[in-house]
């Protein structure tokens, strides 16, 4: 739907009040009833219905009367609510031309009061080109029900958080200014998408910079998941800027290696086709070493060390679980140990701690288990015999408990049936039969006269 901000000039306070009322009603209604909108808006003299007609005319609302009479917000109405809030905050004062269209968002130019031009990104999940959001993105998490406006709001919130954190840690990303609902305002990148660039002065340097960004993100616990030529901006000085962050996941995600390898492959494939790079010679000239790379010169996910920070923990990225958080806490406190140590190293460590007098009960038990396996086998056989006898006794006890439970269940069913019969009888007590309810209709008619004659003949 085309964003026509000219309509925004002619909307009154009552119009925005009704739009906000519909937004509040959509928290627990897919289609908000008209009576509920009127109660929330509280306009005088029944003005809500007149305002609804005006908003429907401008396509800010959608009317649905299939089940009951109600309305829901359209993306255009949601855009106007977000833009109105941004203008009231003083983030920008004018909306310009559209500079980008994607499968999940639209991007517009906006201007501040001092003339500074910014970029406004409006998330629009639910388009025909990208509707597999529930399986491709993790916005819902544990939720089962959703609507597209709410998902767009979650995507904008997530992108703003990632952009702020990456900017703080020195990554080349746009400057995040403000966000509201499904709208994110950021600095305008002075450059072009890499997909539009046909020639570079130093393609080897640009290629190595982009691969280095993928590795640096992984070292801080994040994977972009959509790192390709469409989401990389480059300026005239061949300076790189990353964009589009809602789909980022943690390196602890179950598909993290697949996403990482896919990002690397996208970059390799593009530079091979567009600039005819020979990657082995390029990597040897620039890097001088093959550490952390496979035979084709691509970075290996398993060789990356997380030594630069835990951004996935700070941002609660997808795939970062509570177990990962506990491991990080132990690492920070200095008590975490790597799981790659051999069994012999663990035994030597426990012996050293035992000599120092700092071994706890669990460590001493480990030493005793390593010293004698034969005595442990004998004890286990004795315990097995004892457990077999106890299992028989438990089985008999369980049978008795099952019988008692069945008897209690039968009594419960009887009592419930009795209560149900009483309830049905009480409900039918004050009712009349169909014949009794219809008897009053026959007063003085031919049928009643014939019945009286039949009674007199029968008495004779």
Question: Catalytic residue numbers?
Answer: 226
How crowded is residue 423: how many other Cβ atoms within 10 Å of its Cβ?
10
- CA dist., res. 85 & res. 80, Å (int): 8
Residue found by looking up tokens 């009712």 in the block: 431
Nearest in space to 77 (alpha carbons), one of 58, 49, 54 = 58
List the beta bridge partners of residue 368. none
For 118, residues 6+ apart whose C-beta sits below 8 A from its C-beta are: 91, 92, 109, 110, 111, 112, 177, 185, 186, 187, 188
- Cα separation, 89 vs 110, in Å, equals 14
Both tokens assigned to 155 = 């995507």
218 neighbors 251 (Cβ within 8 angstroms): yes
Beta-carbon neighbour count of residue 155 at 10 Å? 24
DSSP summary character for residue 389: H
In 171-282, at which residue ranges do the beta strands (DSSP E only) sit?
A: 176-180, 183-187, 192-193, 222-223, 232-234, 240-242, 249-250
Instruction: Report the SS3 class of residue 141.
Output: coil
Q: 111 forms bridges with which residues in the sheet? A: 94, 117
């Amino acid at each position: 739907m085309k964003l026509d901000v000219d309509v925004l000039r002619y909307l009154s306070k009552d119009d925005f009040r009704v739009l906000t009322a519909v937004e509040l009603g959509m928290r627990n209604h897919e289609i908000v009833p008209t009576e509920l909108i009127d109660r929330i808006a509280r306009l005088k003299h029944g003005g809500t219905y007149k305002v609804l007609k005006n908003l429907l005319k401008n396509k800010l609302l959608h009317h649905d009367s299939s089940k009951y009479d109600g309305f829901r917000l359209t993306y255009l109405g949601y855009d106007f609510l977000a833009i109105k809030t941004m203008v009231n905050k003083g983030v920008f004062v004018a909306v310009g031309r559209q500079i980008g269209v994607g499968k999940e968002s639209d991007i517009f130019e906006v201007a501040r009061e001092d003339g500074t031009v910014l970029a406004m990104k409006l998330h629009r999940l639910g388009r025909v080109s990208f509707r597999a959001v529930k399986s491709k993105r993790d916005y819902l998490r544990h939720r089962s029900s959703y609507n597209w406006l709410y998902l767009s709001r979650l995507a904008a919130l997530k992108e703003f958080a990632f952009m702020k954190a990456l900017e703080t840690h020195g990554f080349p990303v746009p400057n995040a200014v403000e966000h509201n609902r499904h709208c994110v305002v950021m600095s305008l990148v002075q450059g072009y998408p890499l997909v539009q660039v046909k020639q570079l002065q130093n393609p080897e340097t640009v290629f190595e910079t982009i691969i280095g960004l993928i590795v640096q993100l992984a070292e801080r616990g994040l994977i972009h998941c959509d790192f390709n030529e469409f989401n990389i901006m480059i300026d005239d000085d061949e300076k790189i800027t990353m964009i589009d962050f809602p789909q980022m996941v943690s390196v602890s995600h179950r598909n993290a290696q697949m996403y990482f390898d896919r990002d690397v492959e996208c970059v390799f494939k593009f530079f091979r086709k567009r600039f005819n790079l020979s990657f082995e010679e390029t990597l040897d000239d620039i890097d001088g070493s093959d550490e952390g790379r496979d035979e084709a010169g691509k970075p290996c996910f398993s060789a990356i060390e997380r030594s630069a920070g835990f951004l996935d923990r700070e941002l609660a990225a997808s795939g970062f679980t509570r177990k990962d958080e506990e491991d990080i806490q132990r690492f920070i406190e200095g008590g975490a140990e790597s799981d790659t140590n051999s069994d012999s190293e663990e035994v030597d460590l426990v012996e050293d701690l035992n000599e120092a007098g700092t071994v706890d009960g669990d460590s001493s038990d480990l030493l005793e288990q390593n010293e004698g396996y034969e005595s442990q086998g004998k004890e286990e056989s004795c315990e097995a015999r004892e457990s077999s006898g106890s299992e028989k006794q438990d089985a008999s006890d369980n049978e008795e408990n099952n019988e008692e439970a069945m008897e209690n269940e039968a009594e419960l069913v009887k009592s419930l049936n009795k209560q149900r019969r009483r309830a049905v009888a009480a409900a039918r007590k004050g009712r009349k039969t169909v014949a009794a309810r219809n008897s009053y209709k026959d007063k003085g008619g031919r049928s009643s006269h014939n019945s009286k004659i039949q009674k007199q003949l029968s008495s004779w």
